Amino acid sequence: MDTINGLPAHPLLVHFVVVAVPVTALVAIAIAVWPKARTALGVFPAILALVTLIAVPITTTAGESLEKKVGSTPQLEHHTELGDELILTVGPLFGLMALLYLLQLPVVTDRLPLSEKVIGWIDIAARVATVAAAIAAIVMVFLVGESGARAVWGG
C-alpha cells in the first residue's frame, strides 16, 4: 500500500503506530502488575497487541516505498533501520500479552502437565518480561519517531 486517497500512506499510518505502541505497552504494564485489570480486560489486551503488531510491518513497508520515491539520505536510512527493528519489540510484547491471557484460563492451565507452583512461576516470569518488553517498545517507538522527525525536518 503506497498511497491512501492519493497521499503517501506512511505518514498517515505512522500516526496509528505512534499511538498504538505506547497504548499497548501501557495496557501491558497494567495487566502485568495489576491482576484485577488482567481479569477485567480479558482478551482485549492481546487483541490490541495483535492489531498493533499487524500495523507495524504495514507501516514500515509503506515507509520503504516512500523512501524509494523521495530518495535516501543517511538520516532516512537510520530511520528505516530503526523502523525495521520496531517489530522486534512489538512481536514479543504481543506474545507475552497472549501468554498472560492464556495463563488466567483454567481450561488452559488445567491441561498443562505442570504443578500450580510451576505455573505461578511462569506467570511471574511472564509478567516481568511483559513489563520489560513494554518499556522496550515505548523506547523503540520514541527512537523511531524521533529519527523520522529528524529525517523529515532536519536537525
Query: Residue 1 — pLDDT band, cuts 50, 70, 90?
Result: low
As for how many domains the chain has, the answer is 1
Residue 155: pLDDT over 70: no
For residue 28, give the 3-state DSSP assignment.
Answer: helix
Query: Which domain covers residue 99, as residue numbers?
Result: 3-153
Residue 31: pLDDT over 90: yes
pLDDT computed for residue 82 by the predictor: 94
Q: Quick one: average pLDDT of 86-109?
A: 95
pLDDT computed for residue 34 by the predictor: 95
48-88: pLDDT as tens digits:
999 999 999 999 999 998 888 888 889 999 999 999 999 99
CB of 79 closer than 8 Å to CB of 144: yes
Site of grid cell 500516526: 15
Alpha helices for the chain (secondary structure H) = 9-33, 35-41, 44-70, 74-85, 87-103, 106-109, 116-153
Q: Output phi, psi for 22, to 5 deg.
A: -65, -35
Higher pLDDT, 155 or 149: 149
